[in-house]
Chain A
Amino acid sequence: MKILIVDDFSTMRRIIKNLLRDLGYNNTSEADDGSSALPMLQNGNFEFLITDWNMPNMPGIELLKAVRADARLKDLPVLMVTAEAKREQIVEAAQAGVNGYIIKPFTAETLKEKIEKIFERLQTAD
Protein backbone atom coordinates (compact mmCIF):
# COMPACT_ATOMS: atom_id res chain seq x y z
CA MET A 1 0.00 0.00 0.00
CA LYS A 2 1.30 3.41 -1.04
CA ILE A 3 1.27 5.93 1.82
CA LEU A 4 2.05 9.68 1.82
CA ILE A 5 3.46 11.19 5.04
CA VAL A 6 3.09 14.98 5.35
CA ASP A 7 4.87 16.88 8.13
CA ASP A 8 7.11 19.95 8.08
CA PHE A 9 9.57 18.34 10.53
CA SER A 10 11.73 15.74 8.81
CA THR A 11 12.41 14.01 12.15
CA MET A 12 8.68 13.32 12.57
CA ARG A 13 8.43 12.05 8.99
CA ARG A 14 11.31 9.64 9.70
CA ILE A 15 9.67 8.44 12.92
CA ILE A 16 6.36 7.74 11.17
CA LYS A 17 8.14 6.13 8.22
CA ASN A 18 10.01 3.77 10.55
CA LEU A 19 6.89 2.90 12.51
CA LEU A 20 5.05 2.13 9.27
CA ARG A 21 7.92 -0.09 8.12
CA ASP A 22 7.63 -1.95 11.44
CA LEU A 23 3.94 -2.48 10.67
CA GLY A 24 4.82 -3.87 7.25
CA TYR A 25 4.15 -0.80 5.12
CA ASN A 26 7.30 -0.18 3.07
CA ASN A 27 5.97 1.97 0.24
CA THR A 28 5.98 5.48 1.72
CA SER A 29 6.63 8.95 0.30
CA GLU A 30 7.07 12.27 2.11
CA ALA A 31 5.98 15.88 1.68
CA ASP A 32 6.74 18.85 3.94
CA ASP A 33 3.41 20.70 3.70
CA GLY A 34 -0.03 20.63 2.09
CA SER A 35 0.91 22.58 -1.01
CA SER A 36 3.63 20.12 -1.99
CA ALA A 37 1.52 17.12 -0.90
CA LEU A 38 -1.56 17.91 -2.99
CA PRO A 39 0.09 17.59 -6.44
CA MET A 40 1.80 14.38 -5.26
CA LEU A 41 -1.59 12.97 -4.25
CA GLN A 42 -3.18 14.05 -7.53
CA ASN A 43 -0.45 12.41 -9.61
CA GLY A 44 0.56 9.41 -7.58
CA ASN A 45 -1.94 6.58 -6.73
CA PHE A 46 -1.64 6.97 -2.96
CA GLU A 47 -3.95 4.79 -0.92
CA PHE A 48 -3.45 6.42 2.46
CA LEU A 49 -2.55 9.89 3.75
CA ILE A 50 -0.99 10.71 7.12
CA THR A 51 -0.75 14.44 7.76
CA ASP A 52 0.28 16.95 10.40
CA TRP A 53 -1.86 20.07 11.00
CA ASN A 54 0.54 22.93 11.82
CA MET A 55 2.62 23.46 8.67
CA PRO A 56 3.74 26.51 6.67
CA ASN A 57 1.92 27.51 3.45
CA MET A 58 -0.88 24.97 3.48
CA PRO A 59 -1.84 23.53 6.87
CA GLY A 60 -3.12 19.95 7.21
CA ILE A 61 -6.76 20.96 7.67
CA GLU A 62 -6.67 22.79 4.33
CA LEU A 63 -5.05 19.76 2.71
CA LEU A 64 -7.82 17.56 4.12
CA LYS A 65 -10.49 19.89 2.72
CA ALA A 66 -8.73 20.02 -0.66
CA VAL A 67 -8.58 16.21 -0.77
CA ARG A 68 -12.28 15.88 0.03
CA ALA A 69 -13.10 18.48 -2.63
CA ASP A 70 -11.15 16.62 -5.33
CA ALA A 71 -13.33 14.13 -7.24
CA ARG A 72 -10.53 11.58 -7.58
CA LEU A 73 -9.18 11.92 -4.04
CA LYS A 74 -12.38 12.35 -2.05
CA ASP A 75 -12.41 8.76 -0.73
CA LEU A 76 -8.73 8.68 0.26
CA PRO A 77 -8.41 7.67 3.94
CA VAL A 78 -6.78 10.47 5.94
CA LEU A 79 -5.17 10.11 9.36
CA MET A 80 -4.22 13.29 11.16
CA VAL A 81 -1.18 13.10 13.46
CA THR A 82 -0.76 16.47 15.17
CA ALA A 83 -0.05 18.40 18.35
CA GLU A 84 -3.19 20.49 17.74
CA ALA A 85 -5.52 19.35 20.51
CA LYS A 86 -8.23 21.97 20.88
CA ARG A 87 -11.75 20.59 20.90
CA GLU A 88 -12.76 23.09 18.21
CA GLN A 89 -10.02 21.85 15.90
CA ILE A 90 -10.82 18.16 16.34
CA VAL A 91 -14.48 18.89 15.62
CA GLU A 92 -13.46 20.85 12.51
CA ALA A 93 -11.31 17.97 11.28
CA ALA A 94 -14.15 15.51 11.92
CA GLN A 95 -16.57 17.70 9.99
CA ALA A 96 -14.06 18.00 7.15
CA GLY A 97 -14.08 14.20 6.91
CA VAL A 98 -10.92 12.99 8.67
CA ASN A 99 -10.76 9.21 9.21
CA GLY A 100 -8.61 9.25 12.35
CA TYR A 101 -7.00 11.77 14.70
CA ILE A 102 -3.88 11.14 16.78
CA ILE A 103 -2.40 13.77 19.09
CA LYS A 104 1.35 14.09 19.53
CA PRO A 105 3.22 12.79 21.41
CA PHE A 106 1.85 9.37 20.45
CA THR A 107 2.98 5.77 20.80
CA ALA A 108 3.71 3.12 18.19
CA GLU A 109 0.71 1.16 19.53
CA THR A 110 -1.67 4.11 19.00
CA LEU A 111 -0.56 4.50 15.38
CA LYS A 112 -1.00 0.78 14.73
CA GLU A 113 -4.42 0.72 16.40
CA LYS A 114 -5.76 3.74 14.49
CA ILE A 115 -4.52 2.53 11.10
CA GLU A 116 -6.07 -0.89 11.68
CA LYS A 117 -9.33 0.68 12.79
CA ILE A 118 -9.51 2.86 9.67
CA PHE A 119 -9.08 -0.12 7.36
CA GLU A 120 -11.55 -2.22 9.34
CA ARG A 121 -14.16 0.53 8.94
CA LEU A 122 -13.46 0.94 5.23
CA GLN A 123 -13.89 -2.81 4.68
CA THR A 124 -17.20 -2.98 6.51
CA ALA A 125 -18.39 0.09 4.61
CA ASP A 126 -17.67 -1.52 1.22
Chain B
Amino acid sequence: MNEESSTSLESEIQRRQLEQARELVKLMESGDDLQAGKLIEELGRMHESLLFQQIGKLTRDLHEALNGFRMDSRLSEITEEEIPDAKERLNYVVVMTEQAANRTLTAVETVLPLIESLTQQASELGSDWQRFRQRELSADDFRELSRKLDLFFEQMNQNSELMRRNLSDVLMAQDFQDLTGQVIRRVINLVQDVEENLVGLVRISGQRLSNPDAKFKQEQKDTATLTTGTGPTVPGTSDAKQEVMTAQDDVDDLLSSLGF
Protein backbone atom coordinates (compact mmCIF):
# COMPACT_ATOMS: atom_id res chain seq x y z
CA MET B 1 0.00 0.00 0.00
CA ASN B 2 1.11 3.51 -0.78
CA GLU B 3 2.32 4.98 2.50
CA GLU B 4 1.59 8.62 1.69
CA SER B 5 -2.06 8.13 0.72
CA SER B 6 -2.69 5.86 3.73
CA THR B 7 -1.37 8.47 6.18
CA SER B 8 -3.47 11.22 4.62
CA LEU B 9 -6.52 8.93 4.77
CA GLU B 10 -5.81 8.14 8.42
CA SER B 11 -5.32 11.77 9.40
CA GLU B 12 -8.57 12.69 7.63
CA ILE B 13 -10.42 9.97 9.57
CA GLN B 14 -8.73 11.07 12.80
CA ARG B 15 -9.76 14.66 12.21
CA ARG B 16 -13.39 13.62 11.69
CA GLN B 17 -13.34 11.31 14.71
CA LEU B 18 -11.99 14.10 16.89
CA GLU B 19 -14.70 16.43 15.61
CA GLN B 20 -17.39 13.89 16.40
CA ALA B 21 -15.91 13.17 19.85
CA ARG B 22 -16.14 16.87 20.73
CA GLU B 23 -19.72 16.86 19.42
CA LEU B 24 -20.40 13.80 21.60
CA VAL B 25 -19.05 15.55 24.76
CA LYS B 26 -21.29 18.55 23.99
CA LEU B 27 -24.37 16.35 23.49
CA MET B 28 -23.75 14.38 26.72
CA GLU B 29 -23.18 17.59 28.72
CA SER B 30 -26.44 19.01 27.41
CA GLY B 31 -28.16 15.71 28.36
CA ASP B 32 -29.25 14.75 24.80
CA ASP B 33 -28.81 10.99 25.31
CA LEU B 34 -30.65 10.01 22.14
CA GLN B 35 -28.42 12.03 19.83
CA ALA B 36 -25.33 10.96 21.81
CA GLY B 37 -26.25 7.26 21.29
CA LYS B 38 -26.60 7.78 17.51
CA LEU B 39 -23.22 9.46 17.35
CA ILE B 40 -21.52 6.59 19.22
CA GLU B 41 -22.95 4.14 16.68
CA GLU B 42 -21.73 6.27 13.77
CA LEU B 43 -18.24 6.41 15.24
CA GLY B 44 -18.14 2.61 15.39
CA ARG B 45 -19.31 2.29 11.76
CA MET B 46 -16.64 4.70 10.59
CA HIS B 47 -13.93 2.67 12.25
CA GLU B 48 -15.21 -0.51 10.60
CA SER B 49 -15.37 1.03 7.13
CA LEU B 50 -11.78 2.27 7.44
CA LEU B 51 -10.67 -1.26 8.30
CA PHE B 52 -12.57 -2.71 5.32
CA GLN B 53 -11.09 -0.14 2.97
CA GLN B 54 -7.58 -0.98 4.10
CA ILE B 55 -8.13 -4.74 3.77
CA GLY B 56 -9.60 -4.19 0.31
CA LYS B 57 -6.62 -2.20 -0.82
CA LEU B 58 -4.17 -4.78 0.56
CA THR B 59 -6.04 -7.56 -1.26
CA ARG B 60 -5.87 -5.68 -4.55
CA ASP B 61 -2.13 -5.00 -4.14
CA LEU B 62 -1.46 -8.64 -3.38
CA HIS B 63 -3.51 -9.76 -6.37
CA GLU B 64 -1.67 -7.40 -8.72
CA ALA B 65 1.72 -8.35 -7.32
CA LEU B 66 0.96 -12.04 -7.89
CA ASN B 67 -0.21 -11.33 -11.43
CA GLY B 68 2.90 -9.32 -12.16
CA PHE B 69 5.02 -12.13 -10.81
CA ARG B 70 3.24 -14.67 -12.98
CA MET B 71 3.64 -12.50 -16.06
CA ASP B 72 7.38 -12.17 -15.58
CA SER B 73 8.15 -14.94 -18.08
CA ARG B 74 11.90 -14.57 -17.67
CA LEU B 75 11.75 -15.90 -14.13
CA SER B 76 9.60 -18.90 -15.02
CA GLU B 77 11.83 -19.63 -17.99
CA ILE B 78 14.83 -19.62 -15.68
CA THR B 79 13.26 -22.03 -13.22
CA GLU B 80 11.64 -24.33 -15.78
CA GLU B 81 14.39 -24.55 -18.34
CA GLU B 82 17.63 -22.81 -17.62
CA ILE B 83 18.35 -24.07 -14.11
CA PRO B 84 17.90 -27.73 -15.17
CA ASP B 85 19.98 -26.89 -18.27
CA ALA B 86 22.69 -25.37 -16.11
CA LYS B 87 22.90 -28.61 -14.13
CA GLU B 88 23.36 -30.55 -17.38
CA ARG B 89 25.96 -28.03 -18.52
CA LEU B 90 27.96 -28.39 -15.32
CA ASN B 91 27.69 -32.15 -15.65
CA TYR B 92 29.15 -31.80 -19.14
CA VAL B 93 32.07 -29.90 -17.60
CA VAL B 94 32.66 -32.75 -15.11
CA VAL B 95 32.57 -35.35 -17.90
CA MET B 96 34.82 -33.36 -20.24
CA THR B 97 37.45 -32.61 -17.58
CA GLU B 98 37.42 -36.26 -16.48
CA GLN B 99 37.91 -37.44 -20.06
CA ALA B 100 40.77 -34.99 -20.59
CA ALA B 101 42.47 -36.05 -17.35
CA ASN B 102 42.14 -39.75 -18.26
CA ARG B 103 43.38 -39.17 -21.79
CA THR B 104 46.42 -37.32 -20.45
CA LEU B 105 47.14 -39.93 -17.76
CA THR B 106 46.86 -42.80 -20.25
CA ALA B 107 49.35 -41.09 -22.57
CA VAL B 108 51.77 -40.45 -19.71
CA GLU B 109 51.45 -44.05 -18.51
CA THR B 110 52.24 -45.27 -22.02
CA VAL B 111 55.23 -43.02 -22.56
CA LEU B 112 57.00 -43.40 -19.19
CA PRO B 113 57.84 -47.16 -19.59
CA LEU B 114 59.09 -46.48 -23.15
CA ILE B 115 61.52 -43.88 -21.83
CA GLU B 116 62.60 -46.19 -19.00
CA SER B 117 63.30 -49.03 -21.42
CA LEU B 118 65.30 -46.77 -23.77
CA THR B 119 67.31 -45.33 -20.87
CA GLN B 120 68.06 -48.84 -19.60
CA GLN B 121 69.26 -50.03 -23.02
CA ALA B 122 71.32 -46.89 -23.58
CA SER B 123 73.14 -47.35 -20.28
CA GLU B 124 73.94 -51.04 -21.07
CA LEU B 125 75.18 -50.10 -24.53
CA GLY B 126 77.24 -47.29 -22.97
CA SER B 127 79.14 -49.65 -20.70
CA ASP B 128 79.67 -52.18 -23.54
CA TRP B 129 80.97 -49.35 -25.70
CA GLN B 130 83.47 -48.32 -22.97
CA ARG B 131 84.76 -51.93 -22.80
CA PHE B 132 85.12 -51.96 -26.59
CA ARG B 133 87.16 -48.72 -26.53
CA GLN B 134 89.39 -50.22 -23.87
CA ARG B 135 89.85 -53.29 -26.12
CA GLU B 136 88.26 -55.55 -23.55
CA LEU B 137 85.75 -57.11 -25.98
CA SER B 138 86.30 -60.47 -27.65
CA ALA B 139 85.10 -60.99 -31.24
CA ASP B 140 81.99 -62.77 -29.90
CA ASP B 141 81.29 -59.93 -27.45
CA PHE B 142 81.57 -57.45 -30.31
CA ARG B 143 79.09 -59.41 -32.44
CA GLU B 144 76.74 -59.36 -29.44
CA LEU B 145 77.21 -55.57 -29.07
CA SER B 146 76.42 -54.87 -32.74
CA ARG B 147 73.31 -57.07 -32.49
CA LYS B 148 72.20 -55.04 -29.44
CA LEU B 149 72.88 -51.79 -31.29
CA ASP B 150 70.68 -52.85 -34.23
CA LEU B 151 67.90 -53.72 -31.82
CA PHE B 152 68.32 -50.40 -29.99
CA PHE B 153 68.06 -48.33 -33.18
CA GLU B 154 64.98 -50.24 -34.25
CA GLN B 155 63.30 -49.73 -30.88
CA MET B 156 64.34 -46.08 -30.80
CA ASN B 157 62.48 -45.54 -34.09
CA GLN B 158 59.35 -47.34 -32.96
CA ASN B 159 59.27 -45.76 -29.52
CA SER B 160 59.84 -42.21 -30.65
CA GLU B 161 56.89 -42.55 -33.05
CA LEU B 162 54.77 -43.91 -30.15
CA MET B 163 55.92 -41.09 -27.86
CA ARG B 164 55.16 -38.47 -30.50
CA ARG B 165 51.67 -39.87 -30.95
CA ASN B 166 51.00 -39.90 -27.21
CA LEU B 167 52.33 -36.40 -26.72
CA SER B 168 50.07 -35.03 -29.44
CA ASP B 169 47.21 -36.81 -27.70
CA VAL B 170 48.13 -34.90 -24.52
CA LEU B 171 48.13 -31.72 -26.60
CA MET B 172 44.66 -32.39 -28.07
CA ALA B 173 43.27 -33.37 -24.66
CA GLN B 174 43.80 -29.77 -23.53
CA ASP B 175 40.93 -28.62 -25.73
CA PHE B 176 38.68 -29.29 -22.73
CA GLN B 177 39.73 -25.94 -21.27
CA ASP B 178 38.21 -24.00 -24.17
CA LEU B 179 35.04 -26.11 -24.35
CA THR B 180 34.33 -26.20 -20.61
CA GLY B 181 35.35 -22.55 -20.27
CA GLN B 182 32.64 -21.52 -22.72
CA VAL B 183 30.06 -23.62 -20.87
CA ILE B 184 31.05 -22.27 -17.45
CA ARG B 185 30.83 -18.68 -18.71
CA ARG B 186 27.29 -19.42 -19.84
CA VAL B 187 26.36 -20.73 -16.39
CA ILE B 188 27.94 -17.65 -14.77
CA ASN B 189 25.71 -15.46 -16.97
CA LEU B 190 22.69 -17.45 -15.79
CA VAL B 191 23.66 -17.01 -12.14
CA GLN B 192 23.84 -13.24 -12.74
CA ASP B 193 20.45 -13.37 -14.41
CA VAL B 194 18.96 -15.26 -11.46
CA GLU B 195 20.47 -12.73 -9.07
CA GLU B 196 18.91 -9.80 -10.95
CA ASN B 197 15.53 -11.52 -11.04
CA LEU B 198 15.67 -12.32 -7.33
CA VAL B 199 16.36 -8.66 -6.61
CA GLY B 200 13.32 -7.87 -8.76
CA LEU B 201 11.28 -10.39 -6.79
CA VAL B 202 12.25 -8.73 -3.51
CA ARG B 203 11.13 -5.42 -4.99
CA ILE B 204 7.80 -6.97 -6.09
CA SER B 205 7.08 -8.12 -2.56
CA GLY B 206 7.71 -4.55 -1.36
CA GLN B 207 5.66 -2.84 -4.02
CA ARG B 208 4.11 -4.01 -7.24
CA LEU B 209 6.61 -4.19 -10.04
CA SER B 210 5.36 -5.07 -13.47
CA ASN B 211 7.91 -5.93 -16.11
CA PRO B 212 6.23 -5.96 -19.50
CA ASP B 213 9.58 -5.55 -21.24
CA ALA B 214 10.94 -8.86 -19.96
CA LYS B 215 9.57 -11.05 -22.74
CA PHE B 216 10.58 -8.64 -25.47
CA LYS B 217 14.09 -8.42 -24.08
CA GLN B 218 14.38 -12.21 -24.03
CA GLU B 219 13.29 -12.48 -27.68
CA GLN B 220 15.90 -9.93 -28.64
CA LYS B 221 18.47 -11.86 -26.66
CA ASP B 222 17.70 -15.14 -28.49
CA THR B 223 18.50 -13.71 -31.93
CA ALA B 224 21.56 -11.92 -30.60
CA THR B 225 23.14 -15.08 -29.13
CA LEU B 226 23.29 -16.80 -32.52
CA THR B 227 25.64 -14.09 -33.73
CA THR B 228 27.75 -13.90 -30.59
CA GLY B 229 27.74 -17.68 -30.22
CA THR B 230 26.45 -19.92 -27.46
CA GLY B 231 29.36 -22.31 -26.92
CA PRO B 232 29.45 -26.10 -27.18
CA THR B 233 26.22 -28.04 -27.64
CA VAL B 234 25.45 -29.86 -24.41
CA PRO B 235 23.23 -32.96 -24.72
CA GLY B 236 20.07 -32.99 -22.61
CA THR B 237 19.67 -29.18 -22.61
CA SER B 238 17.69 -26.65 -24.65
CA ASP B 239 20.62 -26.73 -27.11
CA ALA B 240 18.98 -29.81 -28.60
CA LYS B 241 15.88 -27.78 -29.56
CA GLN B 242 17.65 -26.32 -32.55
CA GLU B 243 19.04 -28.36 -35.38
CA VAL B 244 22.58 -29.12 -34.28
CA MET B 245 25.45 -30.87 -36.02
CA THR B 246 26.98 -33.43 -33.69
CA ALA B 247 29.81 -34.65 -35.89
CA GLN B 248 32.24 -33.16 -38.37
CA ASP B 249 30.71 -35.43 -41.05
CA ASP B 250 27.30 -33.74 -40.60
CA VAL B 251 28.93 -30.34 -41.05
CA ASP B 252 30.72 -31.56 -44.18
CA ASP B 253 27.44 -32.94 -45.59
CA LEU B 254 25.62 -29.68 -44.88
CA LEU B 255 28.37 -27.62 -46.49
CA SER B 256 28.51 -29.83 -49.56
CA SER B 257 24.72 -29.52 -49.90
CA LEU B 258 25.33 -25.76 -49.98
CA GLY B 259 27.76 -26.16 -52.86
CA PHE B 260 31.04 -26.41 -50.94
Contact of A94 among B177, B247, B258 (CB under 8 A): B258
Interface assignment of A55: CB less than 8 Å from any CB of chain B: yes
* Pairwise interchain contact B168-A108, C-beta atoms closer than 8 A: yes
The smallest C-beta distance from A58 to any residue of chain B, in angstroms, reads: 10
* Pairwise interchain contact B246-A12, C-beta atoms closer than 8 A: no
> Which residues in B have their C-beta under 8 angstroms from that of A60?
229
* Pairwise interchain contact A108-B172, C-beta atoms closer than 8 A: yes
Q: Per-residue CB proximity of B207-240 to A under 8 Å, as 1/0?
A: 0000000000000000000111111110000000
* Pairwise interchain contact B168-A85, C-beta atoms closer than 8 A: no
Which of B2-10, B55-63, B82-90, B248-256 lies at the interface with chain A? B248-256
The smallest C-beta distance from B223 to any residue of chain A, in angstroms, reads: 10
Interface assignment of B197: CB less than 8 Å from any CB of chain A: no
Contact of A83 among B172, B232, B254 (CB under 8 A): B232
Which of B41-49, B145-153, B178-186 lies at the interface with chain A? B178-186
Q: Per-residue CB proximity of A43-59 to B under 8 Å, as 1/0?
A: 00000000001110001
Interface size on B, residues (CB 8 A): 30
* Pairwise interchain contact A83-B226, C-beta atoms closer than 8 A: no
Residue of B nearest to A53 (CB): B229
Interface size on A, residues (CB 8 A): 37
> Which residues in A have their C-beta under 8 angstroms from that of B242?
86-88
* Pairwise interchain contact B254-A90, C-beta atoms closer than 8 A: yes
Hey, which bits of chain B sit against chain A, CB under 8 A? 168, 171-172, 174-175, 177-179, 181-182, 226-233, 242-248, 251, 254-255, 258, 260
Hey, which bits of chain A sit against chain B, CB under 8 A? 7, 9, 11-12, 14-15, 18-19, 22, 53-55, 59-62, 82-92, 94, 101-108, 110
Top 9 closest pairs, chain A to chain B, by CB: A54-B229, A83-B232, A9-B178, A12-B178, A87-B243, A11-B177, A85-B245, A53-B229, A94-B258
What are 29 A-B pairs at a CB distance below 8 A?
A9-B178, A9-B182, A11-B177, A12-B175, A18-B171, A54-B182, A55-B229, A59-B229, A61-B229, A82-B229, A83-B182, A83-B232, A84-B230, A84-B231, A85-B251, A86-B243, A87-B242, A87-B243, A87-B244, A89-B229, A90-B245, A90-B255, A91-B258, A101-B251, A103-B245, A104-B179, A104-B232, A105-B172, A106-B175
